[in-house]
Structure 1
C-alpha cells in the first residue's frame, strides 16, 4: 500500500520528465519541499482538462457522502476498474501523483522500521491515481486515491502492496479523456515500472510523525 510519500522537487522537474514543461504552464522552479506527505492533506495532482494538463491541490482520500468510515487512500489496481465504488473514478477521474519515493514500515525486533523506496537512478515517479473529477472544484472528502499493485520479486519483503508507478511515456495516455477504461487497464498492466527499478534503505523514525518534514527524513541511517 502507500500511506506516506515524498513530493519535494519542483513542478518543473516532474514536467520535464514528462516532456511537458513549458507547454501549458508558468515556469515554476520552486521546490515543493514535502518530504512526508500524509493522507488527509491536499496534494498536487496532475490531470487533464480541455485537452491540457492541469495541476491542482486535491484532498488525498476518498469517502463519498454515504461512506460512514474514514476516507480510503488506496485502490487496488486489480479490481478498481470493475468495483462499484471505484469504477466511475477509473472511467472519468484518472490522475497522476508526482513523487520522489514512498515509505513503508517493516517489523524488526519488536518495532516498525521505516524504509524509503525510490527509483534506482532517482528519477521522478508518477503514481497512477483515480478520484472525483473535475479536480479544480472542491468535493469535501471526495478527493483521490493512489492505485496500488502487488509487490513481487524482491520487494515483498518490504510490503506486499506498492503504488502503481507508471512509465513517464504512458502518463499522457493514462490521463487522456479519450482513453477507454479498457485501455487504461492495459496501461496499468503493461506500463508500470517493475520492482527491479527501485531501491530502498532504512530511514529515521521521525517520519512516523506527519508534522516532521525535511531532507533528513529520506536519508539512509
Structure 2
C-alpha cells in the first residue's frame, strides 16, 4: 500500500525529471505526507489544458457517490480499470504524484519498525494516480498500488505503482483511454533501482515533519 510518503525535491528538479512542459508552483518540503491532506500532483484539469502542479485531496470520492461512500487513498492496479468506482477516472482523469520516497512498517519482535523506501540514485519517484471531482467541487485522488517487487517485498506485500521515465507522458495523455493500449505503453519502474532503510518511529505521528524522518537509524 502507500499510506505515507515524502516530497522534498524542488519544482525545478521535478520538472527536469518529468521531461514534459509543466506549469510549476512553489512547494514546501514535506517529509511525512499523510492521507486526508492536500498533496501535490501533476495533471491536466481538462484535455486541452497544460500540465500543472496542483493540490489534490488525498482521498478519492467521485462527485456522484453518496456522502457515506468510501474515500480510498489507494486503488489496486488489478481492478482500477474495471471497478465502477474507479474506471472513469482511470480512463479520463489520470495524474502523477511526485514523491522522493514512501514509508512502510515491518513487524519486528512484536513492534512495527518504519522503513523509508526510495530510489538509490536520489531521483524523484512518479507514482501513478487517478483523480475525480468531489461533491464539494474539489479534486480528490488515489495512488495506484501493485504487488511489491524487489527490495520492497522485504517490507510489505504491496507498493505504490512508480512509473519509468518513458511511461510518464502516455500516462498523462488524455487521448489514451483504452486499458489494453495503456498496458502496452505504461511500465513500472525497474525494481533494482529501489533501496530502503529503517527510520525513526517519530514518523508514526503525522504532526512530525522534518528531514530527520527520512534519515537511516540503527535497527
Q: Say how many residue pairs are matched.
A: 212
Structure 1 segment 1-221 matched on structure 2, within 5 A: 1-20=1-20, 23-25=21-23, 32-48=28-44, 49=46, 50-64=48-62, 65-66=65-66, 68=68, 70-132=70-132, 139-140=137-138, 143-182=140-179, 183-188=181-186, 191-221=187-217
Aligned counterparts of 1:186 and 1:144: Cα–Cα separation in 2: 24
Report the 3-state secondary structure (helix = DSSP H, G, I; strand = E; otherwise coil) of the residue aligned with 1:192: coil
- 1:179 CA drift (Å): 1.2
- 1:2 CA drift (Å): 0.2
TM norm structure 1: 0.88
Aligned counterparts of 1:52 and 1:63: Cα–Cα separation in 2: 24
Report the 3-state secondary structure (helix = DSSP H, G, I; strand = E; otherwise coil) of the residue aligned with 1:132: strand
TM norm structure 2: 0.89
Q: Deviations over 1:73-121 (max 9, x none)?
A: 0000111001111101101110000100000001111110000000010
- 1:70 CA drift (Å): 4.8
- 1:54 CA drift (Å): 1.4
Quick check: 176-185 or 62-71, which moved more?
62-71
- 1:204 CA drift (Å): 0.3
- 1:58 CA drift (Å): 0.6
- 1:18 CA drift (Å): 1.7
Q: Deviations over 1:115-171 (max 9, x none)?
A: 0000010111000001105x9x9635x610000010134432200000000112211
The CA RMSD measured in Å over matched residues stands at: 2.1
Mapped contact 1:90–1:181 kept (Cα < 8 A) = no
Quick check: 67-76 or 52-61, which moved more?
67-76
Aligned counterparts of 2:105 and 2:40: Cα–Cα separation in 1: 24
In structure 2, runs of 5+ residues without a counterpart are none
Mapped contact 2:23–2:50 kept (Cα < 8 A) = no
Mapped contact 2:98–2:124 kept (Cα < 8 A) = yes
Shift of the 67–80 alpha-carbon distance from structure 1 to 2, 3 Å rule, reads farther
